[in-house]
Structure 1
Amino acid sequence: MKLLVTGANGLLGQKLAALLLAQPAVELLATGRGPNRLAPYFPALRYRPLDVTDAAQVRQVLAEEQPDCLIHAAAMTQVDDCELNPDACWRQNVTAVEYLAAACAAQDVYLLYLSTDFIFNGEHGPLAEDAEPDPLSHYGRSKLAAERVVQATPGLRWGIARTVLVYGTLLGGGRSNLVQWVRDSLRNNQTIKVVDDQYRTPTLAEDLALGCWLLAQRQAPGIYHLSGRETLTPYQMAQQVAAYFNLDGTLLQRVDASTFSQPGRRPARTGFLIDKAARELGYAPRSFAEGIALLARQLPG
C-alpha cells in the first residue's frame, strides 16, 4: 500500500511516520508545508513539500505519486488563532479539504480526514458517532464544514476519524504538552491554575496514529471516534501527573474555565464513546496513566 500523509511535521504526523515506516507492506510519502523537520529522526523517510491550500500543487502531487490512501493530518488547530484569523482558518481547514477531496475522488484514493470533538457544543458527553454537531467556535465550524465536504464529494471513498485532546511528545521540541508542563512547573515549585470544569477523553498521539492506520488498512468507510476511554478534566489529569512523578499536588490550583479569557469558546463536556472503533477495528487505547508513563520515558530531563 502506498500511503500519503499530510501535516507530517506535526505531532500526529510524526507518530504516523514512526508507525508506518515500521510496516513492511507500506510505501510512505510524508508531506508538509516547508522543509522536512523529521529528517534527523527518520533518515529513510521520503518527504515532499506540499501546500494543501494550493489546488494545482495538490493535483500535481497526487497525480505523480498515485497513493492508495491519504491521511489528512494537516490543519490549523489552535482554537484562539482560528477565532482571530477566520479567513486563514477556513482556507487551511476547509478549502484545502475541498482540493484534497476532489483530487482523491478523481484518482480513486481513499481519504481519511481527521476531525475533532470541538464540532459539538459541550452539553453532553461522552458522545457516539451519531451525536448531533453544534460547534461553538470558528475552529469547530471549520472542521464540521470540512467533514461535510468530505461526505458530499462525488465518487470519493472516505473515512472520518474524530479525536479529543491529543497529547504526546513532539520531536525537536516546540509545543509543550500537559504532562510536561505540569511536571516541569511542579518541579520548579510553581503554583499553576488548571481547569476542572471541562471534561474530555484525552488521546495519546501514538494511539491515534494506530487508530488511523487501522482505518487506512481497511479503507473503512464512515465516521469513527478515536480517543482514550477515560473522561477526565485537565485538573484530574494534572493530579495524575503530580502523583506519577511524586510531586507536590497542592501546587495545583483548581479553577473553572471562566478564569481564562479566550477568544474561542470551548465545549464544557465532550469526550467520545469508542465502542465502534473497538468492535470493528480492534482499537484499544492506553489509559492516561499508561500515557504518562510513556511520555516520562520520552521527555528530556
Structure 2
Amino acid sequence: MIVLVTGVSSSPGYKIAVKLLGRYQVVGTYNEHRVEIPSAELVRVDLTKNPAELIRNYKPDVLVHVAAIGNVDQCEEQPDLCYRVNVVASRELIANAYRVGATIYYLSTDYVFDGERGLYTEDDVPRPVNYYGLTKLLAEEIARAFGGAIIRVAWIYGAGPGRANFGKTVVDKLRRGEEVRAITDQWSAPTLNTIIGEAFAKLIDSKFTGTLHVVGPRMSRYEFAKAIARYFGYNEDLVKPIRLADVNYRARRPRDSSLSNRRAIELLGIPLNDINYALSIFKKELEETT
C-alpha cells in the first residue's frame, strides 16, 4: 500500500513518514529542503504547480497532507501566497487523490479556533482570528467534503528537521545558561512531533475517519518552558515570564486555543496528557542527535 506524505521536510511530516516506514510504501514530497529518510521515496514538488501530476504518477492508497505555510505572521503578510499554498494547492491535491480512491488525512491546527475559552472539542465550531487559521479551516472543509479525516495538532516541538520550534529553542538556550522569555497568558497544547507520527500510524492502521485532536496537555509557553527545565535538569530561574502583549506579532494570536484530547487518548491509547512521557522521548532523541 502506497502512502503519500506531503511536506516531509517539516517537523510533523518527517516524523509521520518515519513512523510509517516498515508498515507501508512511503512516498514523501518536499519543496525547498530535502531530508534523508531511508527506505522512503522522496520527490521534490511545488504543490502550487501541478499536484494532479503527482497523484497520477503515484496513485497513492493514502494521502497524508501536511505541507503548508505554517508561519502565522508570513500568512498575514503574504495572504495571496498563503491562500495558493494552503487552500488552492490543497484543493487540487485532495480532489485528485479522491479521484484515484485514496484515503485522505489532513493535518490541521488549533488556530482554527478563536481562543476565547480553550479546551475545544472536535464538535466545537471553529472561528479563526488570523489568516493562517482561516486558510487551514478552508482546507479542512475541502478535505471533509471529499471524505477526509481531519487531525488537529498544536504547538509542535521536537528533534529532527523542520522550522525552529519553541521546545528545541528552550533546550538550546537553557543548555547555554541563557534566559528564556516565555509567555504566561497564552495557552495551547504543546505536542511532540514523534507522538504525532505514532498517532498517524495508528490512525491509518485503523482506517480512522472523522476529526481528532492529537495534542498534549493544556499549558502556557511559560509552563511548558518550566516543565522542560525541570525534566532536563536546567535552572528554572532562567525562564522569565512575559505577556502576550510584550511580543510584536504581526498576526493576532488566540488567547487560549487549547484542544481537548480526551477522544484521542481513548482511541489511541497514548498518554497525551503526560508531559514527562513526551519530554522523555524528546530528551532521548536530542541525545541521539548530538
Counterpart Cα distance in 1 of 2:240 and 2:262 = 34
Counterpart Cα distance in 1 of 2:236 and 2:173 = 11
My pick for the range that moved more, 181-190 or 263-272, is 181-190
Counterpart Cα distance in 1 of 2:178 and 2:272 = 32
Equivalent in the alignment of 1:177: 165
1:168 equivalent in alignment to 2:166: no
Counterpart Cα distance in 2 of 1:104 and 1:180 = 34
1:49 equivalent in alignment to 2:44: yes
* Aligned-CA RMSD value: 1.8
Listed one character per residue, the Cα deviations across residues 227-286 of structure 1 (whole Å, up to 9, x for unaligned) are 11x211111111112222332222221111000111111111122212222334444436
Q: Please, what TM-score do these two structures have when normalized by structure 1?
A: 0.89
Equivalent in the alignment of 1:32: 30
Q: Give identity over the alignment, percent.
A: 30
Q: Please, what TM-score do these two structures have when normalized by structure 2?
A: 0.93
Counterpart Cα distance in 2 of 1:214 and 1:151 = 20
Contact persistence 1:179–1:295 (CA under 8 A): no
Contact persistence 1:186–1:248 (CA under 8 A): yes
After superposition, the Cα gap between the structure-2 partners of 1:101 and 1:292, relative to the gap in structure 1 and judged at 3 Å, is same
Q: 1:103 aligns with which of 76, 90, 96?
A: 96
The CA deviation at 1:30 is 1.1
Counterpart Cα distance in 1 of 2:167 and 2:33 = 28
Equivalent in the alignment of 2:57: 64
Equivalent in the alignment of 1:17: 17
The CA deviation at 1:214 is 2.2
Q: What does 1:196-215 align with in structure 2 at a 5 Å threshold? A: 196-215=184-203
Equivalent in the alignment of 1:89: 82
The CA deviation at 1:101 is 1.8
Q: What does 1:1-301 align with in structure 2 at a 5 Å threshold? A: 1-23=1-23, 26-34=24-32, 36-38=34-36, 42-54=37-49, 57-152=50-145, 156-171=146-161, 175-228=163-216, 230-285=217-272, 287-299=274-286, 300=289
My pick for the range that moved more, 281-290 or 243-252, is 281-290
Listed one character per residue, the Cα deviations across residues 161-200 of structure 1 (whole Å, up to 9, x for unaligned) are 01111111124xx633333322332333323321011111
After superposition, the Cα gap between the structure-2 partners of 1:205 and 1:286, relative to the gap in structure 1 and judged at 3 Å, is farther
The CA deviation at 1:62 is 1.3
Unpaired runs of 5+ residues, structure 1, are: none
Counterpart Cα distance in 2 of 1:268 and 1:88 = 26
After superposition, the Cα gap between the structure-2 partners of 1:73 and 1:225, relative to the gap in structure 1 and judged at 3 Å, is same
Unpaired runs of 5+ residues, structure 2, are: none
The CA deviation at 1:70 is 0.3
Counterpart Cα distance in 2 of 1:188 and 1:142 = 38
The CA deviation at 1:216 is 2.1
After superposition, the Cα gap between the structure-2 partners of 1:260 and 1:103, relative to the gap in structure 1 and judged at 3 Å, is same
After superposition, the Cα gap between the structure-2 partners of 1:99 and 1:295, relative to the gap in structure 1 and judged at 3 Å, is same
Corresponding pairs, count:
288
Amino acid at match of 2:173: S
After superposition, the Cα gap between the structure-2 partners of 1:240 and 1:110, relative to the gap in structure 1 and judged at 3 Å, is same
Counterpart Cα distance in 2 of 1:5 and 1:202 = 22
My pick for the range that moved more, 44-53 or 125-134, is 44-53
